[in-house]
Structure 1
Amino acid sequence: MTEKITAADAIRLLDSGKAVAVDVREPDEYAVGHIPGAKLLPLGQVTDRAAEVLPDKNALWLVYCRTGRRSADAVQKLEALGYTDLRDLGGILSWPYEIEGDFEGHF
């Protein structure tokens, strides 16, 4: 079972380059606001596009969505595809750090 990760632990890993965030929301949600440097892999495309978007199955990937429901589903799918180092970051709504995108203070 994949571990949950706190925002504080996640930001340290992201800032040090030891992990990459993976946003499993839809492209329009990603455009509104996402964690800087996050790769977009919508939940509905995980099975078909994971190898293309996340080529290293042994890298540390921090998976998130809006509230945490889709990230948990995506983590299960990625594990089934052979990904070995995943963390469920939950929802961006609880992310207290910098967000980049076209948002105007709302999600």
Structure 2
Amino acid sequence: MAEINGPREGDSEPDYRFTLANERTFLAWLRTALGLLAGGVAVHQLVPAPTALSTLLAGLCVVLAAVLAASAYPRWRQVQAAMRAGKPLPKSGLLVLLTAGILVITVTAAALVVFS
């Protein structure tokens, strides 16, 4: 929570390029979440004869979008705090989660195309 209340004593301001790169990464997570949300809404609205599979696909997109959007700011904050404290950057489970989520969405979309 140091970033919200200001840097902790002994912390230093990181090079602005790293701070901006961290911000760009945060915004990329949000863009990805918005893209997934748009995909979920599009599947829900544009599939002519909704099935359980298309509903599942739309739901998966929306849920993954919500998880990414909810995780983006805490991740930005953790990285910023580590940079200020001169510590190694924290590991992120978001990459594995996003990869697995996109894989499940892709397989579900393929099933929708093949079986519809």
Give TM-score scaled by structure 2 length. Answer: 0.23
More strand by share: 1
